Structure 1
Amino acid sequence: MRILGIESSCDDTGIAIYDSERGILADALYSQLSHQKYGGVVPELASRDHIQKVIPLISAVLEAAQLKSEDIDGIAYTKGPGLAGALMVGATIAQGLGFAWKIPTIGVHHLEGHLLAPMLAEPAPSFPFLALLISGGHTQIISVRTLGDYEILGESLDDAVGEAFDKTAKLLGLPYPGGPHLEKLAQNGNAKKFQFPRPLLHREDLNFSFSGLKTHVANVIHKTELSDENKADIAAQFEETIADILCKKMHRALLQTGISRLVVAGGVSANLTLRKALSALAEKEECHIYFPPLKYCTDNGAMIAYAGAQRLMRDEKSDFSIQVRPRWPLSELKAPEKSA
């Protein structure tokens, strides 16, 4: 089965073709740059860019895979959560093409795409596993029993970890999106020069909080002469703090659940400092750890094509009504019904 995947939840236009026997045949990603001058995503601009890019990217991916429209067996698109206008672009095009090509379509939960993205790597994890989902909009610890059977064990009570990265980067005068720039800056810093708080580590639950950390960093920045050296030192301590928080919470989750497989997914999982710290934790606890390929950490069409394929192969499909869910709790997602 060959599935065309369309990702348009925010400011990245991702297209991919997944073959159930051969894996990803081709993929393309357009990352919008028009938001940089505003320091954040402008929803209307994001929607307009998706309108301009989705069809040309689909054509390019089909050509790269040496396929024609009649070779596609189904279309998966991001139904939510995300920006309403951006989601509508992907949904409208997916449903229109599905109707024209006479093939089924399926609306995919964006976070399920991230959770399953490590399945595109070798070796791939098997169910069940414990997932740490870290992105610009989410920080969650999830027990993943099987496709669609997800239990959120802990999550951020305020800012997501990716949001904390971007806000701290902005305070340091770094361009948007700030996470990768902060990571690069931290490579030249001394993490021991400053000391930042680790919120909620005294609590036995698995929840996170990054708002207070962000405020503390802001106060330090306002009181400190922002030389290049001090900027790098602040970035390094910030990264170390985040790594420490995530590792301690995941250690607690591993002990509480007894699960021996750990998946780390979402855009922030591309951060090499965090990967190194979490890999060290997994080695110490003698559990297996899995990450998506680096290019599939951030929003992309490949993860949507893969997640959609898993659903379509279990006889799920959408009607051709155009519906999106900008707010869609992962807890509302259901496992596919077993065939009789």
Structure 2
Amino acid sequence: MIVLGIETSCDETAAALVDDQRRILANVVLSQIEDHAPYGGVVPEVAARAHLAHLDGIIRQALAEAGLGLDAVDGIAVTAGPGLIGGVAVGVMTAKGIAAARGLPFLGVNHLEGHALTARLTDGIEFPYLLLLVSGGHCQLLCVDGVGRYRRWGTTIDDAVGEAFDKVAKMLGLGHPGGPLVEAAARGGDPRRFALPRPMIGRPDCNFSFSGLKTAVRRAVAGLPQPLAAQDVADLCAGFQDSVAASLADRAKRAIAMFHVEHSGNGAFVVAGGVAANQMLRARLSAVAEAAGMRFIAPPLKLCTDNGAMIAWAGLERLRLGLVDGLDCAPRPRWPLDPTAAAATGAGVKA
């Protein structure tokens, strides 16, 4: 069984082919970083136009790299949300067109489920497992019980961790996207120089918060001579990243304790999403899992950021279970993995 996956939820135009033996036959990703860099962030209309211009070519390239034609494909999977609605719509309409023309099953995939199931593609792990999903728009701890079965144990009450990285990078004049730039600058910095907060540590729940940390960095910047010296930037990046790591580790420990109660310690601790590419954060979270006696899994770096392979795999998992969508499937700007979870409340969040 082979599935074509299409991803257009943000600023990567991607297509991939994956089979049911967990083989990635092709995985093509076109980044729009240069298109958005002058604006300091992703511009939705620019992203949608770029997807429209390049998606057909990216799909053709993926098929060529796999050495396959559409006659070898058993299903068409596409990110149907959440994401920037213009880009999501481009991908969905393209996928529907292929599915209709070829008489193939259409699979509207939740982008977050793509990240959530990547560890099953790369490592073949069994359900259930504990997932820390960290990206530009999301920061959640979830118990993954099965395909389409997610229980959210914690979420951010304000900013996602990836967004915080981007905003800090912008404050420090590093550019976009912020995550890799902050991580690179932090390697030459002293994380102890600035007394930055470590949000939510010790709280009895599994929620996150990063707006206060972001504000603390802004205040530290305002208290320094301008323009900032290179060492100032490095030290602020190191301190910010260390605070993020401490917060994620503390929240993960609480969730792991809950998972142990439910499952007697069996299962894996998985970190996924774009921020999972950060090597320092991976090392800190790996140590937390090891101390708790849990297997730690993080996807290869190329599968942490948005890609078509994760969408193809999620589609394949759903296709095997007969979870096929109709061509009336609508693009969604918001689509929670756990729609029954209570709304997060806190700074900047409405109940």
Range of TM-score over shorter length:
over 0.9
Q: Does 1:228 align with 2:230?
A: yes
Aligned partners of 1:332 and 1:198: how far apart in 2? 29
> Which residue matches 1:245?
247
Does the aligned pair in 1 maintain the 2:7–2:15 contact within 8 Å? yes
The aligned runs of 1:152-191 (5 Å cut-off) are: 152-191=152-191
> Which residue matches 2:68?
67
Q: Where does structure 1 lack aligned partners over 5 or more consecutive residues?
A: 334-340
Does the aligned pair in 1 maintain the 2:108–2:329 contact within 8 Å? no
> Which residue matches 2:216?
216
Q: Does 1:325 align with 2:312?
A: no
In angstroms, what is the RMSD of aligned CA positions?
1.2
Runs (4 or more) in structure 1 with deviation over 3 Å come to none
What is the Cα deviation at residue 316 of structure 1? 1.7
SS in 2 for 1:331: coil
- Length-normalised TM-score, structure 1: 0.95
Does the aligned pair in 2 maintain the 1:92–1:322 contact within 8 Å? no
Q: 1:295 aligns with which of 287, 297, 302?
A: 302
SS in 2 for 1:332: coil
Does the aligned pair in 2 maintain the 1:79–1:108 contact within 8 Å? yes
Does the aligned pair in 2 maintain the 1:120–1:292 contact within 8 Å? no
Does the aligned pair in 2 maintain the 1:10–1:82 contact within 8 Å? yes
Does the aligned pair in 1 maintain the 2:202–2:250 contact within 8 Å? no
The number of residues matched between the two structures is 332
Aligned partners of 2:208 and 2:61: how far apart in 1? 41
What is the Cα deviation at residue 290 of structure 1? 0.6
Could you give the per-residue CA deviations for residues 240-263 of structure 1, whole angstroms, max 9, x where no partner exists? 110000001111111122044100
Q: Where does structure 2 lack aligned partners over 5 or more consecutive residues?
A: 341-351
> Which residue matches 2:107?
106
> Which residue matches 1:336?
none
> Which residue matches 1:97?
98
Does the aligned pair in 1 maintain the 2:9–2:81 contact within 8 Å? yes
Does the aligned pair in 2 maintain the 1:8–1:87 contact within 8 Å? yes
- Length-normalised TM-score, structure 2: 0.92
SS in 2 for 1:5: strand
Does the aligned pair in 2 maintain the 1:95–1:321 contact within 8 Å? no
> Which residue matches 1:201?
201
Q: Which amino acid in structure 1 is aligned with residue 45 of structure 2?
A: E
Aligned partners of 1:41 and 1:183: how far apart in 2? 20
Q: 2:258 aligns with which of 256, 277, 298?
A: 256
Q: In 2 relative to 1, CA 322–124 (structure 1 residues): closer, same or farther, beyond 3 Å? A: closer
SS in 2 for 1:263: strand
> Which residue matches 2:13?
13
> Which residue matches 1:50?
51
What is the Cα deviation at residue 184 of structure 1? 0.4
Could you give the per-residue CA deviations for residues 223-272 of structure 1, whole angstroms, max 9, x where no partner exists? 11321011101101111110000001111111122044100000000000
Does the aligned pair in 2 maintain the 1:119–1:292 contact within 8 Å? no
SS in 1 for 2:338: helix
SS in 1 for 2:126: coil
Aligned partners of 2:100 and 2:145: how far apart in 1? 34
> Which residue matches 1:286?
293
State the identity as a percent.
47
Q: Does 1:81 align with 2:82?
A: yes
Aligned partners of 1:130 and 1:319: how far apart in 2? 31
Does the aligned pair in 2 maintain the 1:124–1:290 contact within 8 Å? no
